[in-house]
Amino acid sequence: MRGGRKTAVGNVGRPPVSWALPGILFFAVFAIVPLAIAVYLSFCKWDGLNSPTSAGLDNWTRLFKDPEVRQAAWLSLLLTTISWAFQTPVALLLGVWAAGRQRSRAVLSAVFFVPLLLSTTAIAMLFHALLDPNFGVIKEIGPWFGIDPNVMGSSTGALLTVAFVGGWQFMPFHTLIYQGGTRQIPQVLYQAAEMDGAGMFRQFFHITLPQLRNTITTSSVLMIVGSLTYFDTVLIMTKGGPGTDTTVLPYLMYRTGFQTYDLGYAAAIATALVVVATALSLVLVRFSGFGNMRSTREGM
Amino acid sequence: MSVDTRHTAPTVSPAFRTRLATARRRKRWGNPLAGLGSLVWLVLVVVPLYTLISSSLMHQDEALNGDPLAFPTNPTLDNYKTVLDSGFSTMLGNTVIVAASTVAIVLVLAVPVAYVAVRTRSRLSSLAFRTFLLGVAIPAQAVIVPLYLLIGKMGLYDSLPAIILPTAAFAMPVAVLILSGTMRDVSEEMYEAMALDGATPLRMLWQLAVPMSKGGISTVAIYTALQAWNGFLFPLILTQSEENRVLTLGLFNFQTQFGVNIPAVLAAIVLSVVPIFAVYLVARKALINGLMGVGGK
C-alpha cells in the first residue's frame, strides 16, 4: 500500500516528516540516550555520588569471570525457558478454547481476566502471603499435592514458584492475545476442513496452529523479554534467595547498582542483558518473518 | 479492520449437511482437553483470589492460627481502616496522576509518529519506525542506571515527572506499532478523496486517520495506563519521599511495615485493585478488546 502508487494526488496531502520529531526526540532522550550512557558507564567506575571515572575494560573482564554473573545468567535463561514452556501451551489452548462464542466461555474468560487487574507488586505480595510456610494457605493445601509448605525455602521450589507466579499473572494476557488471533482466522477454512472430514485435532494442527504463527511470535517475544527482565516478583518474593539461588540478572543488577552502589558494573550487567534480550527477539522476529509488519489488508 | 467471515458459509450440498451438524455439535463443547485445562486454571485463579478477600476480613490471630481456607468467623473491616490510615489516598492520587499523564503524553506523541510512518515514504520515517520496532526489546532495567543519573541532572529526582517521563517513553514503541498497524488499514482511496477536496494533512489526520483508528487508540490508552499503574522499577529507583509514593511502591512498603499482620497486607492489596476493578466493571469490553489488540492481527 505504501509502494509507488502513482496517481495525480499521490504526493498531495502527505504530512511533513517533522511531525514525528517530538515523539522521536522524546523516545531518544529517555530510552536511546540512556542506553548509550549505559554502554558508556559500563566502561566507568561510579559510586553514584562522585563523577564517573574511566575504568577501561575492567567491568567487562570482571563480568566474564564473575561466578555470580554466570549463575544469574543461567538462572535468567532457566526462568525464561520454564516460563515460556509453561505459558505458551496453556495460553494457546485456553485462548483457542475461549475464542468460541458460547456464554459459559465468556463467563469463564471474565474470571480468567481478573489477575490482569492486579499489579505485579500486588500479585507477588499475595503469593508471598499465601506461601508463608507458617501462616499461608500452602500449609493446608500443599500436603494434598505433596508440596512441602516451605517451598520458598528450597532453591528449585523458589525458582519454580517465581515462574508460576509470573504465569499466573501473564497467562490471561497471552490467552487474550491467542483468543484475538484465533478469532481472526477465516471461518471458511474450518468449514472447508469439516467438509473434508478433518477432525478437531487435525483442524487444530493444520489450520489453527499455522494461522496463529504471527500471534505465537508476538506472544513469545513479549514472554521472553518479559521473563528476562523479571525483577519485581523476585525482589518481593525471594530477594534473590534462598542464598543467591533466584538471583536473576536484573536482580543482580539492582543489587550491584542500588545496594552496593557499584553503578559502573551494574551498567555492564544491564548492557549485557539488553544485548541478550535484543538478540533473542531479533532471532525470533527474523525466524518468523514477523518484522514485515504486514497489514491484513495488504494485497486486497 | 477485520472482515467478519463467519456468515459467509458456502452453499453446501445436502449430503454434507449431516456431517456438518455432527461437527457443530462437537464444537459446542469444544476441545475437551482445553475445557478441562481451563477448569484447572479456573481453580488456580479462584483459590488465591478467594483467600485474598476472605483473609483480608479476618482478625489477625484468626488469619495466623486458623484455617486460611475457612470463611472468616467474625468478619472485620479493621484491616481496611489500618491501610486507609496509612496514607493510602495520597498513593492512589499519585498513581492516578501518573497513569493519566503517561497516557496523555503517549497519545499526543505517538499518534503523529505512526501517522508519518504510514503516510510518508522518506527514508527518515522508515528509520524512525525501525528504531521504535527495536525499542520494543529495550528493557527498563537496561537504562535504569543512566536514568537515575539523567533524572538527577534534570532536577527531577523524587518527583512524579521522574516516574511519568520514562514510563511514557517506554510505552512509545508498542504504541507506535499498534497505531501504525491500525492506521495502515485506512485505505489510500479515502486519503485521495480528501486530498481532492483540498484537505490539509492535519485535517486528514484529525478527520480520517484518528477516527478510523479508534480501536488502536483505545488499545494504546489501556495498555499504557496499565503499564503506568503497575510500574515498580521507576518509582523504586527514581522517587523516595512519602508524598511522591505511588501505589505499587506503597504496597511494597506495607509488606515491611505491617510485618506479620498478613490481613492488613492483604487488605492493602484488595484496596489497590478496587479502582481498576471499577474501571473493569464499567468498561470490560473496551479493556479486553484493547488488550487483545496488543497482539496485533
Question: Residues with Cβ < 8 Å from A104, sequence gap 6 or more?
Answer: none
Asked whether residue B282 is domain-assigned, the answer is no
Closest CB to B122 among A17, A22, A120 = A17
Q: Which of A135, A177, A297 sits opposite B64 (nearest CB)?
A: A135
* pLDDT at residue number B129: 80
Considering the domain boundaries, does residue B283 fall inside one?
Answer: no
Quick check: A31 and B184 CB within 8 A? Answer: no
pLDDT given at position B297: 45
Quote the domain boundaries for residue B62: 15-82
CA–CA min distance A136, chain B (Å): 7
Domain membership of residue A11 (yes or no) is: no
Residues of B in contact with A212 (CB under 8 A): none
Can you tell me which residue has the cell 484465533? A182
Pair B149, B193 in one domain: yes
What pLDDT shows up at residue A7? 45
Tell whether B127 and B175 lie within a shared domain: yes
Cell of A256: 550491584
Q: Which amino acid is residue A297, in one-letter code?
A: R
State which amino acid sits at residue A47: D
What's the confidence (pLDDT) of residue B121? 76
Which has more confidence, A49 or A299?
Answer: A49
Q: Which residue of B has its CA nearest to A265?
A: B145
Is residue B240 located within the same domain as residue B137?
yes
Cα–Cα distance for residue pair A260/A263, rounded to 1 Å:
8
DSSP B136: T
DSSP B239: -
State the average pLDDT for chain A.
83
A108 lies in a domain? yes
Q: By mean pLDDT, which of A47-56, A96-105, A191-200 is the weakest?
A: A96-105
B69 and B192 assigned to the same domain: no
In CATH, what number is assigned to the domain containing residue B144? Answer: 1.10.3720.10
Same domain? B26 vs B137: no
A249-253, B9-13, B139-143, B233-237: least confidently modelled range: B9-13
Q: What residues of B are in contact with residue A216 (Cβ under 8 Å)?
A: none
- Cβ distance A14 to B119 less than 8 Å, yes or no, reads yes
Residue B68 lies in a domain: yes
Give contacts of B269 with chain A, Cβ < 8 Å: 118, 122, 125-126
Query: Closest residue of B to A110, CA-based?
Result: B284
At B295, the pLDDT band (50, 70, 90 cuts) reads: low
Which of B25, B49, B82 finishes a domain?
A: B82
Indicate if the pLDDT at residue A2 is higher than 70: no
Residue recorded with cell 495498555: B223
**Cβ of B200 and A141 within 8 Å?**
no
pLDDT at A295: 38
Residue A262, C-alpha cell as written in the block = 557499584
Q: Is B48's CB within 8 Å of A130's CB?
A: yes
**Interface mutation target, options B145, B210, B265, B291, chain A, most CBs of A under 10 Å:** B145
- What share of chain A has pLDDT > 90, as a percent? 30
Mean pLDDT, residues B55-61: 84
* CB spacing of A266 vs B146 below 8 angstroms: no
Question: What is the longest distance spanned by two Cα atoms in chain A?
Answer: 76
CA-based end-to-end distance of chain B: 9
Q: Alpha-carbon distance A205 to A158, whole Å?
A: 35
- CB of A178 within 8 A of CB of A172? no
The number of distinct structural domains making up chain B is 2
pLDDT for B21 equals 60
Give Cα A75 to chain centroid, integer Å. Answer: 15
In a domain, A167, yes or no: yes
Q: Do A9 and B195 touch (CB under 8 A)?
A: yes
Confidence of residue B216 (pLDDT cuts 50, 70, 90): confident
A129–B265: do the CB atoms touch at under 8 Å? yes
B95 and B144, same domain (yes or no): yes
User: What CA–CA distance (Å, rounded) separates A187 from B9?
Assistant: 8
Q: Does position B217 have pLDDT exceeding 60, yes or no?
A: yes
Q: How many domains does chain A have?
A: 1
Chains A and B: how many Cβ contacts under 8 Å? 345
Say which residues have a Cβ less than 8 Å from residue A94's Cβ, sequence separation at least 6: A112, A171, A175, A178, B34, B37, B38, B41
The answer to whether residue B39 scores a pLDDT higher than 60 is yes
Backbone angles phi, psi at B12, to 5 degrees: -120, 140
Q: Which three cell numbers stand for residue B169?
A: 517513553
Q: What is the pLDDT of residue B101?
A: 97
- How confident is residue B8, by pLDDT bands cut at 50, 70 and 90? very low
B62-66, B163-167, B187-191: segment of lowest average pLDDT: B62-66
pLDDT of residue B12 exceeding 60: no
Please report residues of A whose CB lies closer than 8 A to that of B286: none
Burial class of residue A103, CB neighbours in 10 A (0-12, 13-18, 19+): exposed
> What is residue B4's predicted lDDT score, i.e. its pLDDT?
45
Please report, for the domain that includes residue A183, its CATH number. Answer: 1.10.3720.10
Q: For residue A124, which of A232, A246, A250 has the smallest C-alpha distance?
A: A232
The average pLDDT across B81-107 equals 93
| Closest chain B C-alpha to A128 CA, distance in angstroms | 10
B127 shares contact with chain A (CB less than 8 Å): no
Calculate mean pLDDT across residues B86-110: 94
Lowest mean pLDDT among A187-191, A279-283, B140-144, B227-231: A279-283
> Do both B94 and B42 map to the same domain?
no
> Which domain range does residue A127 map to?
37-291
pLDDT, mean over chain B = 82
Instruction: Please tell me whether residues B154 and B230 are part of one structural domain.
Output: yes
- Whether A14 is covered by a domain: the verdict is no
Q: B128 and A22: CB-CB below 8 Å?
A: no
pLDDT of residue A93: 87
Chain A residue numbers with beta carbons less than 8 Å from the beta carbon of B248 are 119-122, 232
Domain stop point among B82, B101, B121:
B82
pLDDT score, position A107 = 74
Q: How far, in Å, CA of A52 to CA of A55, rounded?
A: 9
B243 and B129 inside one domain: yes
Domain boundary among B82, B106, B131: B82
A30 lies in a domain?
Answer: no
Q: Which helix (H) or strand (E) holds B236?
A: helix B233-238
- Determine the pLDDT at residue B160: 95
DSSP state string for chain A: --S----TTTTTTPPPGGGGHHHHHHHIIIIIHHHHHHHHHTTEE--SSS--EE-TTHHHHHHHH-HHHHHHHHHHHHHHHHHHHHHHHHHHHHHHHHTS--HHHHHHHHHHHGGGGS-HHHHHHHHHHHT-TTTSTHHHHGGGGT--TTGGGSHHHHHHHHHHHHHHHHHHHHHHHHHHHHHTS-HHHHHHHHHTT--HHHHIIIIIHHHTHHHHHHHHHHHHHHHHT--HHHHHHTTT-STTTT--HHHHHHHHHHTS--HHHHHHHHHHHHHHHHHHHHHHHHHHTGGG---TTTT-
In a domain, A264, yes or no: yes
pLDDT at B174 (0 to 100)? 86
For residue B135, give the nearest of A12, A31, A295 by CB distance.
A31
B287 lies in a domain? no
Share of chain A above pLDDT 70, in %: 90
| Cβ pair A278, B137 in contact under 8 A | yes
Chain A residues within 8 A of B237 when measuring between CB atoms:
258
In a shared domain, residues B125 and B48: no
Q: Render pLDDT for A121-168 as a digit per residue (tens, 0 to 9).
A: 999 999 998 888 777 778 777 778 878 778 888 889 999 999 999 999
Residue B237, chain A, CB below 8 Å: the answer is: yes
Please tell me the predicted confidence (pLDDT) of residue A6: 44
- Residue A13 within a domain: no
Task: End-to-end CA distance of chain A: give it in Å, rounded.
Answer: 9
Please report residues of B whose CB lies closer than 8 A to that of A288.
none
Domain identity same for B24 and B151: no
Indicate the angle between helix axes A67-98 and A263-288, nearest 10 degrees. Answer: 40
Same domain, residue pair B77 and B98: no
- Give residue B283's pLDDT: 74
Contact B44, A137 (CB under 8 A): no
